[in-house]
Structure 1
């Protein structure tokens, strides 16, 4: 049975299927569609012609702009048609034409999006993805299925992220980059196929990291991607006499502890990724 809060505002042209749950002070604009298995949190706003369907939960304060489709079925030929889910946290903004798919039957059945994320026009999040918090997807970014994007990463316009790739915390992906390998935290990645162009120093500074912390990350970066294999260098850093802390430790842990079959995106001289 549909549950619509008395404070919700629903345009007379909108379609809200029986079974949907609409939170307090939600707004559903003209010609919107809300599916039977959708839950809209408090203060959610669907601008005109927005679609939210599937088994989808949209957190408090989210906005969905015209022609966006949130909760569409997974775009996978292996999906068997069974029910899968999409969970979205609070205060996410989905601009015009954005698509976010539910999970797939062969990938865990659930796509998860965190809070305070910004998805600009025509960006796409595929099935079974994990998107952290405070992430920005610029226009036309494409994220393939099963990918993971950690907190505060920024993906510039037209970037394409291969399925199963992991993007580390606060990484910066340049415009039109084609990312086929995992990206360490705080990295700056450019080109197609993508290569590492250094560290996202501006992002670290904006996040309030001290000069000492930034220098520690630089030293770790230089050691990890010096002569020898990346994994061996990272392992030597973690077991060395000088204790690693903060962001530098986070990079080493990402390399050594990640559960991924993808290689690592590395600096320009190794543009096809390290197989170490």
Structure 2
């Protein structure tokens, strides 16, 4: 049997692995599924169609799976899906998805999500991210792998932040932030690329050099975005070790071009 504190209320319909622990005064609804090794702190509310994977550590006073803060929402089915090995600190609010956004709010694996993080409906968070205290995501935000969001970062709805990016304290992200970019300000402006983070993750000198060239094409050469994309594409030939990095940048720039938010400049 799962280790459930006597004061916790777990609906009979909830599916908890035998190794799950549940703290005092926590409420778990009938459509919740929690896999093995996950611990739930005291005073949490986990409701809705919420699925939580293995080995997550969820601290006290979290609200997971509540209905969206969306006036258009009319009770349609939606889900919150949380992967494995995530740390979710106090006072997080993660809402289920809506029909207009695919119906799922999703958190990947190995993320470090600090206190007071808000994930609105239909947000998609990748793997190995770090969100500092009070990082706030509006609806339909996508945050790719290895992103670091500084404390009090606010992200506008329908915005995407590319992999390996970083924001400074109090940044307001109103446009798509391409991969590798470090930004700051209100609204966010690109200041550099996350070179130190890339080195820590084992990027070779050739890959870092390619990222520098991408930054130059996007932000330093004074050319159009289409011209920047053409120069970036050429890097796959001159920097063969960075082909995947170039492809990721081009995919991002292509995918976000259909959205009127533009990119962080």
TM range (shorter): over 0.9
**Shift >4 Å, 4+ stretches:** none
- Report the counterpart of residue 129 of structure 2 in structure 1: 135
Greater share of helix: 2
Structure 1 residues 21-170: aligned runs within 5 Å:
21-170=15-164
Structure 1 residues 232-247: aligned runs within 5 Å:
232-238=227-233, 242=237, 245-247=243-245
TM-score (norm 2): 0.93
Structure 1 residues 215-234: aligned runs within 5 Å:
215-225=209-219, 226-234=221-229
Q: Does 1:263 align with 2:257?
A: no
**Farther-moved stretch of structure 1 (197-206 vs 230-239):** 230-239
**Farther-moved stretch of structure 1 (109-118 vs 255-264):** 255-264
Instruction: Give 1:93 shift.
Output: 1.4
Q: Does 1:19 align with 2:13?
A: yes
Alpha-carbon contact 2:45-2:63 (below 8 Å) kept: yes
How many residues are matched? 260
Counterparts in 2 of 1:239 and 1:211: CA distance versus 1, 3 Å: closer
TM-score (norm 1): 0.90
Unaligned runs of 5+ in 1: 1-5, 267-276
Alpha-carbon contact 2:183-2:189 (below 8 Å) kept: yes
SS of residue in 2 equivalent to 1:106: helix
Give CA deviations for 1:24-79 in whole Å, capped at 9, x if unaligned. Answer: 31101110110110001101111111121110000111121111111111110111
Instruction: Give 1:179 shift.
Output: 0.1
- Report the counterpart of residue 199 of structure 1 in structure 2: 193
SS of residue in 1 equivalent to 2:213: helix
Structure 1 residues 172-187: aligned runs within 5 Å:
172-187=166-181
